[in-house]
Structure 1
Amino acid sequence: MEHRPLSELTSIADLKTPEDVKVPVLTKRERLDRWIDLLEQEPDRELKTLDEIEWKPKAQRLAMRADGSALTVAYSDPLLRQAGLRSDTFGDAVDFFQISEHDAHIVLCSCHGGELMRADETARRVRGIRSPSLWSLYFGWFR
């Protein structure tokens, strides 16, 4: 491997420095809409839920994740990661999507969906937390 100073490399390569990289700025609604779109790409996909979120101590709850969950779907998206989604944990999702732990619980917890939940059902739940005034249309019950 040949080592060259950065000044030489700029003349032969298109180098991007962190300040050159444009980070997309997405509103809360755009973030949730993107997540919904990703989930709806494979509506029949079975997603793992997080096991009994409400019974975990806060630190454990915020660190919860599961391979093949709705959070994995979100985190696998380059746009959401570039916009600031740090991981596929419960806590990072709550922060990134700017939702309450209660709302995240409704979307992700095993007590609301069983061990597995279809992606289209998960998308419907995300739509419900995105538009609480339409909650009853998505879930058939009032909040």
Structure 2
Amino acid sequence: MKHHTLGALRSTAGVHTNIQAFTTTREARLLRWAELLEKTPDRRLRTLPETEYQPASVRDRMRCADSPIAVAYEDAVFRAEGLKDDTYGQAKRFFELTDWQLHGFVCSCHSGATVRSGSAAQCLRRAARPNPGLLAMLWDALLLR
């Protein structure tokens, strides 16, 4: 085994130290995800088919390339914070979303085969609000249709 100085390892390994410190609150994660989606608000992202009809074990493993969840997984900060993959179940756990919240912007029943990135970001911003109340939840449900 060959030993190297820390400086030599940094130059060889290409360590990136410019990643900002990230607050790991639920709200901060959701808002960061929304910001990533808003970078290209008209981008069409793929949705997952009929998530509400899948058994929980199948739904948790659902994924597709170029989905809103895949956008989050592409982010190095989220991966460093513990986002393990771009599956429905991992997004639900990592971002602390309910099935209803996640379903609102990743399921095909709301927008068809694709969803605008900006629309998905709006859903995330609504989900980030602490305790929206019953009236706000009903209003959001009407807007998602």
| Structure-2-length-normalised TM-score | 0.80
User: Conserved in 2, the CA contact under 8 Å of 1:71 and 1:93?
Assistant: yes
Q: 1:13 aligns with which of 8, 11, 19?
A: 8
The Cα of 1:141 is off from its aligned counterpart by: 5.0
Q: How do 1:85-124 and structure 2 match up within 5 A?
A: 85-124=83-122
User: Conserved in 2, the CA contact under 8 Å of 1:49 and 1:110?
Assistant: yes
Q: Which residue in 2 is equivalent to 1:20?
A: none
User: Conserved in 2, the CA contact under 8 Å of 1:135 and 1:141?
Assistant: no
Q: CA RMSD in A?
A: 2.5
2:108 is matched by which residue type in structure 1?
S
User: Conserved in 2, the CA contact under 8 Å of 1:62 and 1:89?
Assistant: yes
User: Conserved in 1, the CA contact under 8 Å of 2:83 and 2:94?
Assistant: yes
The Cα of 1:14 is off from its aligned counterpart by: 3.5
Q: Secondary structure at the match of 1:43?
A: coil
For 1:96 and 1:12, how far apart are their aligned partners in 2?
Answer: 34
1:87 is matched by which residue type in structure 2?
D
Indicate yes or no: 2:53 matched with 1:76.
Answer: no
Q: Which residue in 1 is equivalent to 2:42?
A: 44
Name stretches of at least 5 consecutive residues in structure 1 with no aligned partner. 17-22
Name stretches of at least 5 consecutive residues in structure 2 with no aligned partner. 14-20
Q: Secondary structure at the match of 2:79?
A: helix
Q: 1:26 aligns with which of 24, 27, 40?
A: 24
User: Conserved in 2, the CA contact under 8 Å of 1:128 and 1:135?
Assistant: no
The Cα of 1:129 is off from its aligned counterpart by: 1.6
For 1:57 and 1:140, how far apart are their aligned partners in 2?
Answer: 25
For 2:7 and 2:67, how far apart are their aligned partners in 1?
Answer: 43
| Structure-1-length-normalised TM-score | 0.81
Query: Quick check: which has more Rg, 1 or 2?
Result: 1
Aligned residues: 132
Q: Which residue in 2 is equivalent to 1:128?
A: 126
4+ aligned runs moved over 3 Å, structure 1: 134-142
Give the % identical residues. 34
